[in-house]
Chains A and B, each alone.
Chain A
């Protein structure tokens, strides 16, 4: 076992993060949420999906970002480049693309008056053009949104002039996951849950494993190494400016059910897919609302992503995506189904907790929340958020 079981270890490594209580108000304040909209979500790089979702020229994907009051269309141009645009017609502001995804044969056409844009966002057709005044089609393309791709993940930045490039923004995450080869795995499952909770409550609840032996006592009590067989300890925590990763080590003597033993035996697939894990489970919190989770499998690794999309101060869509290497045998396919079901069950338990936590904080019974040493990465997130929002926060 590599994990150091000592107490209060990480506060000594990262003393600048402090150890004090953290105000609860940002979880429930409509005013704070308004600031987050303007100073966070409209200013930083946000993950929209992966390039494999729009593989061919003309393939597009629409993401409605309620938190930014924006609808974004991501389209692969006939030159192969993925671009993002505001999904708004230059004529009178109608939404151009009404479906969630698709493939256009050359043009995106607005329903309202049939104005048509090519796959690079240029305005190419105006109905009854001769009846307009001083129309310059070359200046009336779709409004571009800063768009960039890192390791196959598509990000946009709604700031008309982003303060930094995606690569600078992601900081050391790019080095840590360089050449991870995420494209070798395929999107296998998507879940969405519309939660009555602040987006940070949902994210924070996932951004630690302290809760596993308790909240998941029936599902996953001892999957990671435990101090004195009771309490989780992290293998590693690293910070990359705004972002973080924590890692855990699997518990070699965790309770194994009959089906788990069986499924492990059935999966005899060869090793084809390894990911650059630090531990057996790595949780990358990419500020503000994106998470990449890497899982070590016996023969093949896999990954998941979370996007926490705020709809309101007390409402969030938690989007969960699971990516598996293509199954080469029936045993591997069944093993993937098994991993998915176990994880999905745990996440449903989490979703319930997000809502009860929100209800508790919304009562204003508590002015502050507390984080222990295993939760230092949440403390880091709140410090980054407070800096970004520009509101002083104790801690």
Chain B
């Protein structure tokens, strides 16, 4: 699912294709498995593109996104996923969280 292309106007973000993940659990795992440098790279690249991304996605009904637009949404959700790590924690996981953070699990 993560290997397809993005809409033409967002091809510059295709280096982050591995972040275009449909499931929250996968986005959480990807965040935990990343270095802060990798999280900051995603954050820095997506932050200035988010308005354009939302404008692009809003051409479609949320329930009927074309495949490449769907991947773009997933990528935007990964941006959301990493914001707290970059802006608040300075580490991929919350501070003072569970010994094993995977115990707090989304039921999907």
Contact = CB atoms under 8 A, between A and B. Distances in A.
Interface of A: 189-194, 215, 218-219, 257-259, 262-263, 265-266, 327-331, 333-334, 337-338, 341-342, 344-345, 347-349, 351-353, 355
B54 A266 contact: yes
A315 to B, nearest CB: 12
Contact of A337 (B80, B95, B105): B80
Contacts of A194: 103
Interface of B: 24, 47, 50-51, 53-54, 57-58, 62, 73, 76-77, 80-81, 83-84, 87-89, 94-99, 101, 103-107
A327 B105 contact: no
A333 B106 CA distance: 18
A352 B97 contact: yes
A342 B47 CA distance: 17
A330 B96 contact: no
B106 A191 contact: yes
Given A257-B83, A329-B58, A331-B54, A262 B47 contact: yes
Contacts of A189: 24, 106
B105 A330 contact: no
Contacts of A218: 88-89, 94-96
A345 to B, nearest CB: 5
16 contacts: A189-B106, A191-B107, A192-B105, A193-B103, A218-B94, A219-B84, A219-B88, A259-B80, A259-B83, A266-B50, A334-B50, A345-B84, A345-B97, A348-B101, A352-B96, A353-B96
A344 B24 CA distance: 12
Contacts, number: 96
Looking at A218, A265, A342, which has the most chain B CB atoms within 10 Å of its CB? A218
B101 A190 contact: no
Nearest to B69: A330
> When A and B form their complex, which 7 residue pairs have the shortest distance between CB atoms, in order from nearest?
A330-B57, A259-B83, A190-B107, A257-B87, A348-B104, A337-B80, A348-B97
A82 B37 CA distance: 52
A323 to B, nearest CB: 14
Contacts of B73: 330, 333
Nearest to A215: B96
Contacts of B107: 190-192
A375 B96 CA distance: 23
Nearest to A195: B103
Contact of A258 (B47, B77, B89, B97): B47
Nearest to B87: A257
Contacts of B53: 330
B58 A349 contact: no
Given A189-B24, A330-B57, A258 B95 contact: no
B80 A330 contact: no
A179 to B, nearest CB: 28
A257 B88 contact: yes
Given A330-B53, A331-B54, A351-B104, A337 B97 contact: no
A104 B98 CA distance: 39
Contacts of A347: 104
B80 A341 contact: yes
Contacts of B80: 259, 263, 334, 337-338, 341
B84 A342 contact: yes
B98 A331 contact: no
A351 B98 contact: yes
B103 A338 contact: no
Nearest to B72: A330
Contacts of B51: 262, 265-266
